[in-house]
């Protein structure tokens, strides 16, 4: 299996382990899905964590804020 392409733009990972991923995202990046159909950062983070830490099934990804693309 190939490593998922998590970052098409540069994002700073502030902390990472197999349970937590803290990202300093730049403005304009979609965090949660919306009607545009663009792939959100939360989905990319889920794929990344599942791959890197060999998590079976779905990995839970929660967002701790609502500063999403429309407001950033």
Task: Work out the average pLDDT over 41-53.
Answer: 90
Residue 2 resides in a domain: no
List the alpha helices (DSSP H) in 9-71: 41-52
Residue 4 resides in a domain: no
Q: Per-residue pLDDT for 47 more than 60?
A: yes
Q: Per-residue pLDDT for 46 more than 60?
A: yes
Residue 3 resides in a domain: no
Residue 53 resides in a domain: yes
Q: What distance in Å separates the CA atoms of residue 3 and residue 34, rounded to the nearest whole number?
A: 25
Residue 22 resides in a domain: yes
Q: Which residues pair with 15 in a beta bridge?
A: 22
Residue 51 resides in a domain: yes
- Domain containing 51 equals 12-71
Residue in this structure with the two tokens 């099934």, named with its chain if needed: 57
Residue 28 resides in a domain: yes
Number of CB atoms found within 10 A of residue 31's CB: 20
Residue 59 resides in a domain: yes
Q: How many domains does the chain have?
A: 1
């Amino acid at each position: 299996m190939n490593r998922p392409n998590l970052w098409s733009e540069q994002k700073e990972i502030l902390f990472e382990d197999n349970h937590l991923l803290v990202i300093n995202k730049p403005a304009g990046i979609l965090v949660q899905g919306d009607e545009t159909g663009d792939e959100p950062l939360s989905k990319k983070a889920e794929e990344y964590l599942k791959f890197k830490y060999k998590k079976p099934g779905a990995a839970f990804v929660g967002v701790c804020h609502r500063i999403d693309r429309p407001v950033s």
